[in-house]
Amino acid sequence: MLDETRLNSLGLPKPPAETRVVVAMSGGVDSSVVAAMLKDEGYDVVGVTLQLYDHGAALARKGACCAGQDIHDARRVAETMGFPHYILDYENMFREAVIEEFADAYLAGATPVPCIRCNERVKFKDLLATAKELDADCMATGHYIRRVDGPAGPELHCAADPNRDQSYFLFSTTPEQLAFLRFPLGGLASKAETRALAAKYGLRVADKPDSQDICFVPNGDYASVIEKLRPGAADPGEIVDMAGNVLGEHRGVIHYTIGQRKGLGIGGLGDPLYVVKLDPGTRRVTVGPKEALATRSVPVREINWLGDAPFASRPEWHVSVRIRSTRPPRPAILRPLSATTATVELLDPESGVSPGQACVFYETGGSRILGGGWIWRGH
């Protein structure tokens, strides 16, 4: 039996100086603080930054390479703290695993969440494999989430600061990945604490603003990115009501999302109308009253289960679920159909449930993430 007192702060049974940690560095303040903090504690830190895209090429104009600035910032942190730093070119991988699917999902009328796919397919898969090749004992990231050693193995829990919690974007982390990952910022009380640590270590990124947009979608303009990737994606079509009556013309299905009210261009028709269905095949956008958006039953697939007992070992699980990153968890009944598919019954109907979004499962009344999956049909 291992003497618990001999575990280091990362839960590994050897001194920090003999523990190699690969830190995934984005160039932002969070991952920079993780790298500096672990180096300060005496760990053998190796910084790795992924070059995922070239903004300059994506926008076809000079001086727009945010990716280059982030890489520069990460390298400077490594120089300040005195640990090696590597840049890995993952552009082709990122395009195939994340950007192409993002475009196709939008064309299919879904509302994708590419940050989850990036964590799942690039950072926690390929980068994690690279970390092992570098003989790392673990890989640390700047995500705001907690890893807790439970009786059945490592568990994923929400961050201590609910305003920074990133559990919605990390539900697809597998138990095997979780065994190797560490999230040193998950227990911090606030982002201010992170910035204070950056200042303490003399990092120039201490005041760097948080990134708000999806990294390859500058200024949140999804449509222009998709039009570049899929010419013809913005072909116009009809806006119809729920009975099929034509109310107007739209400028491309990709400009709309389920639950959208503004910018429909069909004002003056009495009660407010919302997008309730997108049909890329017929290029139709269907609108209706708010009550038409209410959804109680949500089909979910590609489920990653993090509970202790096998997912399909029970007919139902009483959980809380989050169907959008911006919404709080709500009570639901999770009914497995197979090891990776289920129907989620929301105890209170929600509006704006959209295919392509994630549905994340939480322990009722607790902080543990039990997994999640992808919403895949219309409501």
**Measured between alpha carbons, how far is residue 55 from residues 60, 70, 179, 216 in Å?**
8, 11, 34, 7
| Strand partners of residue 301 | 374
Structure confidence at residue 67 as a pLDDT band (50, 70, 90): low
Residue 242 has pLDDT above 50, yes or no: yes
Identify the structural domains of the chain with CATH numbers, from first to last.
18-219 (3.40.50.620), 234-292 (2.30.30.280), 294-375 (2.40.30.10)
Residue 61 has pLDDT above 70, yes or no: no
Q: Flag the least confident range among 13-17, 223-227, 240-244, 356-360.
A: 223-227
Collapsing DSSP states into helix, strand and coil, what is residue 284? strand
Residue 84 has pLDDT above 70, yes or no: yes
pTM over 0.95: no
CA distance linking residue 138 with residue 12, whole number of Å:
9
Spatial contact of 124 and 177, defined as CB atoms under 8 Å apart: yes
Structure confidence at residue 44 as a pLDDT band (50, 70, 90): very high
Active site residues: 118, 215
pLDDT in tens, 277-336: 888 888 899 999 989 999 999 999 999 999 999 999 999 999 999 998 888 999 999 999
Spatial contact of 287 and 239, defined as CB atoms under 8 Å apart: yes
Quote the distance between the C-alpha of residue 153 and its chain's center: 23
Average pLDDT, the chain: 89
CA distance linking residue 9 with residue 293, whole number of Å:
48
Residue 1 has pLDDT above 70, yes or no: no
CA distance linking residue 169 with residue 331, whole number of Å:
19
Spatial contact of 138 and 10, defined as CB atoms under 8 Å apart: yes
| 129-147 burial: b if 16+ Cβ within 10 Å, else e | ebbeeeebbbbbbbbbbbb
> In the chain, what percentage of residues exceed pLDDT 90?
60
For residue 145, the number of C-alpha atoms closer than 13 Å in the C-beta half-sphere is 20
| Strand partners of residue 201 | none
Beta strands per DSSP E along 52-201: 85-89, 138-140, 145-150, 153-158, 181-182
Structure confidence at residue 352 as a pLDDT band (50, 70, 90): confident
Structure confidence at residue 268 as a pLDDT band (50, 70, 90): low
Residue 104 amino acid letter: D
